Structure 1
Amino acid sequence: MEAVIRKWQQKFRKGKEEMEKWEALQVRWVSLFRNASSIIQRLQEMQNHGSYGALRCLKGIEDAVVQQQMGQLESLLRSMKNVMEEFWGCVLTFEKLHRDGLQLREIESSKRRVEERIGVKPCITDCLEGLSILYDMHQSEYHLKSSILSVLSCLILKPSPGDLNALQYLVVDQPNIPKDEVQHIFDVIFAEEIK
Structure 2
Amino acid sequence: MGERLLKKYRVLFSKGLETLSEWESTQVLAVALVSSSSNIIKRLPVLTDDTNFGELCDDVELIEAVKGKQMEALSSNIQRLREQICIFNRLSSCLERLALEGRQFFQDLKPEQTTLGGIRRGGNPSICECQEGLEDFSRIHRDECNLKSALVKGLTLHTSAAELDQILALMHSQPNIDPGYVKHLRLMFQPLE
* TM above 0.5: yes
Partner of 2:55: 54
Q: Call closer, same or farther: CA 1:22–1:109 in 2, change over 3 Å.
A: farther
The answer for the alignment partner of 2:166 in structure 1 is 166
Aligned partners of 1:108 and 1:114 also within 8 Å? no
- Large movers: runs of 4+ above 6 Å: none
Aligned match of 1:67: 68
- Tell me which residue corresponds to 1:139: 142
The corresponding residue for 1:22 is 23
**Distance in 1 between residues matched to 2:25 and 2:110, nearest whole Å:** 37
Which is further off, 32-41 or 126-135?
32-41
Q: Report the CA distance between 1:144 and its aligned residue.
A: 1.6
- Equivalence map 1:179-190=2 (5 Å): 179-190=179-190
2:123/2:191 contact within 8 Å kept: yes
CA distance in 1, matches of 2:150, 2:63: 32
In 1, Cα distance between equivalents of 2:184 and 2:42:
40
Larger relative contact order (Cα-Cα within 8 Å, sequence gap ≥ 6): 2
1:7 is matched by which residue type in structure 2?
K
Tell me how far apart the structure 1 counterparts of residues 137 and 127 of structure 2 sit (CA, whole Å).
15
Partner of 1:92: 93
Measured in 1, the distance between the counterparts of 2:131 and 2:97 equals 12
1:121 pairs, out of 94, 113, 124, with 124
Shift of 1:158: 4.7
Q: Which amino acid aligns with 1:177?
A: I
Q: Distance in 1 between matches of 2:173 and 2:109?
A: 38
Structure 2 residue ranges without an equivalent (≥5): none
User: Which AA in structure 2 matches 1:164?
Assistant: L
Instruction: Name the SS of the counterpart of 1:108 in structure 2.
Output: coil
Equivalent residue number for residue 37 of structure 2: 36
TM-score (norm 2): 0.88
Are the equivalent residues in 1 in contact too, given 2:37–2:164 (CA < 8 A)?
no
What TM-score do the two structures reach when normalised by structure 1?
Answer: 0.87
Contact residue 99 and residue 134 of structure 2 kept, 8 A: yes
Structure 1: runs of 5 or more not aligned: none
Would the alpha carbon gap of residues 158 and 77 (structure 1) be closer, same or farther in structure 2, given more than 3 Å must change?
closer
Tell me which amino acid in the other structure corresponds to 2:71. Answer: M
CA distance in 2, matches of 1:136, 1:96: 11
Alpha-carbon deviation of 1:109?
Answer: 5.8
For residues 60-84 of structure 1, the C-alpha deviation after alignment (integer angstroms, 9 at most, x for no partner) is 3332222111111111222222222
**CA positional deviation for 1:11:** 0.5
1:120, 1:192 within 8 Å by CA — same for their partners in 2?
no
Count of aligned pairs between the two proteins: 190
Aligned to 1:3: 4
